[in-house]
Amino acid sequence: MTTPPISPRLQATYRAYIVHTQKCQNCRSGTNCDDASKLRTAYRAAERKASR
């Protein structure tokens, strides 16, 4: 059984969130900043759209 391909938009939003949280001092210390919240929201929206 193979895993279905992940949409490029979903991959891009997830990557943006992960890269941000690795570089942002606030996020690295355990407190997500406003930018991280926006990126996470965009990822979740892309995830919902991909699951349709």
Q: Rounded to two decimals, what is the model's pTM?
A: 0.79
pLDDT of residue 3: 64
pLDDT in tens, 18-40: 999 999 999 999 998 999 999 99
What is the token pair recorded at 28?
């690295």
In this prediction, residue 1 has a pLDDT band, given cuts at 50, 70 and 90, of low
Is 35:20 a contact under the CB 8 Å cutoff? yes
Cα–Cα distances in angstroms (integers) from residue 7 to residues 11, 24, 29, 39, in the given order: 6, 26, 30, 17
